[in-house]
Chains A and B, each alone.
Chain A
Amino acid sequence: DSGVTQTPKHLITATGQRVTLRCSPRSGDLSVYWYQQSLDQGLQFLIQYYNGEERAKGNILERFSAQQFPDLHSELNLSSLELGDSALYFCASSVGTGYGYTFGSGTRLTVV
């Protein structure tokens, strides 16, 4: 257990639907990062939150949004889903030092 919890582990949904992915960061970590990994691809940065505020945005589609709550957990909302959104979505957290980030086990999203 890395200390970063992602739910659900697997999600199958139809095109056009909306889903919410949840992430609880490691205790004490204020930063949460969301990444998307399509099949056999690298990890693409989507968005970062720090202590409740959006800190940085990457290649995140307008159909996607995220937020971080006062208890520091974060949610990634994906709407109007398309087949191409099928991917592994990772959440990572960091305390903000130069150390590598701790990743959750990911949510496997399949859009059918």
Chain B
Amino acid sequence: AQTVTQSQPEMSVQEAETVTLSCTYDTSESDYYLFWYKQPPSRQMILVIRQEAYKQQNATENRFSVNFQKAAKSFSLKISDSQLGDAAMYFCAYRRAYNTDKLIFGTGTRLQVFP
């Protein structure tokens, strides 16, 4: 069975600094997708970034980028120039490439941003 592990329950960062959130996963599949979701205090689940396993290039969305290491089954999220609004729970998620397959989530990392 596929699993997603986030080993950092909490992280903190100073405003304008950079922080990296870790995620590892376990799968025997070769084709899959990885995601980072943000859950602010409002509890809404917001897609931050996605990565397709067959693409070697790391995904980037503005201040958010990933370091995807397929062989190591690692998928970390880097947030640059951190802002107070980045404070939230961040969940790493995995899904197989099969059409409509479900998302499997990690346990989350709570990010605090200090001014």
User: A residues near B, CB below 8 A?
Assistant: 2, 30-31, 33, 35, 41-45, 48, 50, 55-56, 58, 88, 90, 92, 94, 96-103, 105-106, 108
Nearest-neighbor residue (CB-CB) of B4 within chain A: A42
**Majority secondary structure, B binding face:** loop
Query: By the criterion CB–CB under 8 Å, are A43 and B44 in contact?
Result: no
Task: Say yes or no: A42-B100 contact (C-beta < 8 A), given A88-B43, A100-B35.
Answer: no
Tally of B interface residues using CB under 8 Å: 24
Chain B residues within 8 Å of A, Cβ to Cβ:
33, 35, 37, 42-45, 47, 50, 52, 91, 93, 95, 97, 99-108
* Complex alpha-carbon distance, A58 and B37, angstroms: 20
Which of chain B's residues has its CB closest to A33's CB?
B102
What are the residues of chain A within 8 A of B99 when measuring CB–CB? Answer: 96-97
Known: A42-B106, A105-B43. A31 touches B50 (CB 8 A): no
B100 in complex: contacting residue of A35, A88, A94, A100, CB < 8 Å: A94
A106 near B43 with CB under 8 A, answer: yes
Q: How far is the CA of A82 from the CA of B31 in the complex (A)?
A: 40
Task: Tell me how far the C-beta of A108 lies from the nearest C-beta in chain B, rounded to whole angstroms.
Answer: 8
Which residues from chain B contact A99 at a C-beta distance below 8 Å?
A: 50
CB-defined contacts of A106 to chain B, threshold 8 Å = 43-44
Q: Tell me the bound Cα distance from A55 to B101 in angstroms.
A: 9
Q: Which chain B residues border A41 with CB–CB below 8 Å? A: 107-108
A43 touches B105 (CB 8 A): yes
